[in-house]
Structure 1
């Protein structure tokens, strides 16, 4: 699990005091630290409180605001400081993006086993972020079709057989329409490269297979100029996010992934200008994928279940 944001800030500031980059009398402000590290004010506030508890900083006397590095802090910080294995970068990546991947991964690993409730407070507590940041993460999960807001909270629906088939049926309606619209936007060279990647994928792992799935279903189809269609596809493609996990744990079911040849058929038809044939091939591919997804999920339910993080709570898991 990633180290809490406030703790990473604490390590950096302690190291800077130990190295005299921050010297006695230097002022530390909550809002400036939050801006520097691209985080909300909550982890910045907690890091400053920890520095004060360690005796490295003290509250400024009125009318001043913030904290000030105290005398002899350098020696004390040197005793406490340790090398930073993962230095805190000062990029401007929003805080929600820094934790989103871990939350998404935790969710996609478990929705085959049941429905889950997520809370803003649980995510905020787990990662040391504000509830606003946690809310941004949940909003992004909703955009990707992984969670729904039921009014009283956020729920990730279970990937039941009915839900899986419903999602694929919807994709089989939407994605051929998008392919029709992007058929004249992709070059022959791009199609040749995609086909080459698919033909050379035998024996590759789940991460590579996941990429090849995304090349067609996301990379190509999201070039569609109809924003409403793009949004609908994204929400219907939530199952794609779990495929890497599925491939990793169900590889023995299909010695050669059937989708590889099916994607080649779609792209080859597109390459020769047979757009209707490509759309039909994509539709058939998605319907076949629906059957395979049900088999994978059924297999997973029999072999895997691990302890979820605290911010995931079982929700009507028998549904």
Structure 2
């Protein structure tokens, strides 16, 4: 039996659940396409949150995603309505009108801890960029309409991944992502990812396509954060996660998680993607495809060292910027 290159990638890529904000995005997008959410209809966060049994923070993130697709637009600076045709604001009870739930209904039927885990993880992983914060169990339980037992279960699972900690007074906290922590994580990336590259079964055809995509990028011109993130993910999935050592792939993925969240948070502040970083990945791919694994490994190590320095330089900017206002109330930033 011949295993395709795509199957090889999927085999070594850790299974990921769809984040709740993506489930909410699909739900809203689908109902706009079906006409159930019609032009001009005001999309109230609270009503959609109740309809999907999700937090308002999750719905807000979903609406912001769909806004970039021009399916909805802001009005009066304080909300969203469906684009197209007559966009004069129209209000209806979103808790009662006919809407198709599809996979959103399945997602809401997950066990309680699983239903909120992805949303909590999303906020927790991007908060260290803005400093130390404390997690309040009671407020989290109220946010997601679950018991504190469920909240503790979620936090314990995040603790296992090193994303949250308990301090000496048994309070849940998220420690800030300092320059030292970033350097430590990149140092670990060099160890793990260089080792993964050496043992990878590279999907040559797909990597050639990615190399061509990178080569076609306009030199000296910025790229979008979405394009940067997509290329970076494809490289990681095909070059690092195609290692035959599944434990190595898992550890490498977990180590990169906080850095991915850091980059996403920096993009959200308006910091531009670094095109040079993507070009460096292109060089690694070219060397790997030519069979020069040792030289490709050296190039990857150099790329990670440069990426580390760039990230630290960008992180310094956040010291003078207040955290975004869309963090849920159960995450509260402090100086101590």
Judge same fold: TM > 0.5, yes or no: yes
How far residue 211 of structure 1 moved from its aligned partner, in angstroms, is: 2.0
Aligned to 2:240: 221
Alignment CA distance shift 1:190-1:110 (3 Å): same
Deviation at residue 93 of structure 1 after TM alignment = 4.6
1:311 and 2:325 aligned: no
Count of aligned residue pairs for this structure pair? 245
Unaligned runs of 5+ in 2: 1-20, 22-44, 54-92
Alignment of 1:83-162 (within 5 A): 83=97, 87=101, 89-91=105-107, 93-142=110-159, 145-150=162-167, 152-162=170-180
Structure 1 residues 197, 149: closer, same or farther in 2, change over 3 A? farther
Within 1, Cα distance between the matches of 2:239 and 2:94? Answer: 51
Sort the Cα spacing of 1:304 and 1:206 in 2 relative to 1 into closer, same or farther, 3 A. farther
Aligned to 1:194: 210
Q: Does 1:251 align with 2:271?
A: yes
Pair 260,120 (structure 1): closer, same or farther in 2 beyond 3 Å: same
What is the TM-score with the length of structure 1 in the denominator?
0.65
Match in the other structure for 1:71? none
Evaluate the alpha carbon distance shift between residue 291 and residue 127 of structure 1 in structure 2; reply closer, same or farther with a 3 A threshold. Answer: same
Could you tell me how far 1:190 is from its partner in structure 2? 1.4
Q: 2 CA distance for matches of 1:6 and 1:261?
A: 41
Partner of 1:206: 225
Cα displacement (A) at 1:132: 4.9
Of structures 1 and 2, the larger Rg is shown by 1
1:179 and 2:222 aligned: no
Does the 8 A contact of 2:202 with 2:238 survive in 1? Answer: no
Tell me, yes or no, if the aligned pair for 2:126 and 2:264 is still in contact at 8 Å: no
- TM-score normalised to structure 2 length: 0.62
Distance 1:303 1:149, change over 3 A: closer
Structure 1: any 5+ residue segments left out of the alignment? 11-78
